[in-house]
Amino acid sequence: MKEAWEKLVAVASSDIGLMVFSVLSAIGLWLFVNVGQKPAELPLKVPLELRNLSEDLMVANSELDAIEVRVSGPPALLSTLSPEQFKVVLDLDGARPGTSTFRLGADYFNPPRGVRIARISPSVVNLKLEAIAERVLPVAARLEGDPLQGYEVTRVEVSPEKASVRGPAGEVEKMVSVETEPIDLTGASGQKVQEVRLRAEGRPLSFNPERVRVMVALDEKLVTKEFTNVEVKAKEFNGSYTVSPGHAYVRLTGPERILAQLKLGGEQVYLNLKEMRPGVHNVPLSFELPDNVKVVEQKPTYFRVNITDSKRS
């Protein structure tokens, strides 16, 4: 018995013994990884690659750029996987305008031994192919928000004024202009300059240039206001006089913020009788109005003034 044990130890210590031990260890490890563990599932977002697409065509439904592949296998093995190993490649050689359909099954992939394809989503890929068109169209600035109260947009300049649009022929050919991304004018006044992107609105379009410079001028809003019964009298004149008619109609134009609060009285509308002698005179109205406020219309143009005493202080 002792001799047999010594022979076994000698064999195990030899090169052959070490080789056998290594093989048995490898088999044991493989069995542990592939048999001894409970299978698990792992979802992978795998890239979608299109090959051999003609330069005259484009994919109109480009929102699909990845496929979800759910794989099943030992957890230790699944942890070594990467989405790139399951990349989906679709060959569009010879494709024409219309819908190209590709059905993806488990046999489409080549997973490592011990890994199974459990699910593919979507399993059917429909690519809508359209001919490419390119046009040069005017650029329209899209404005949003309310300017500062009393201000309004008076001028919009876009530079450059036109851009090249490239995309599906059916989409490009019905376009009349290209819009920019929204420019917010909330609380703005004076002048606003901003560089903005052109807007695809979810459509598979490309632009050249991709950005434009927009200048928006915001000036005070001009309005008109009527004053129908303005009392007419002299200013800084202490003599005696009568005036006919005694009231006037006045229509003014100017910034909304000023006219909204403006009231006309003897300080703003009056008769200038300085240096005038007793007698009858036809006198026009004189005005002292805020800056940017102008008289559009007045009735009557002249007033009949009878000065009986020209005494002045």
**Rounded CA gap, 41 and 71, in Å?**
5
pLDDT per residue as tens digits for the range 133-181: 999 999 999 999 999 988 999 999 999 999 999 999 988 999 999 999 9
Domains of the chain with CATH codes? 40-122 (2.170.120.30), 132-220 (2.170.120.40), 222-309 (2.170.120.30)
Instruction: Please give the model's pTM, rounded to 2 decimal places.
Output: 0.59
pLDDT along the chain (313 residues), means of 10: 51 53 50 58 90 87 79 88 90 89 89 90 89 95 93 95 94 94 95 96 91 96 94 90 95 93 92 92 95 94 92 56
Among 264, 190, 247, 259, which Cα is nearest to 220's? 190
- Cα 5 to Cα 2, 8, 24: the distances in Å are 5, 5, 21
Among 217, 194, 215, 209, which Cα is nearest to 162's? 209
pLDDT per residue as tens digits for the range 281-301: 999 999 999 989 999 999 999
Instruction: List CB contacts of 80: < 8 A, sequence separation 6 or more.
Output: none
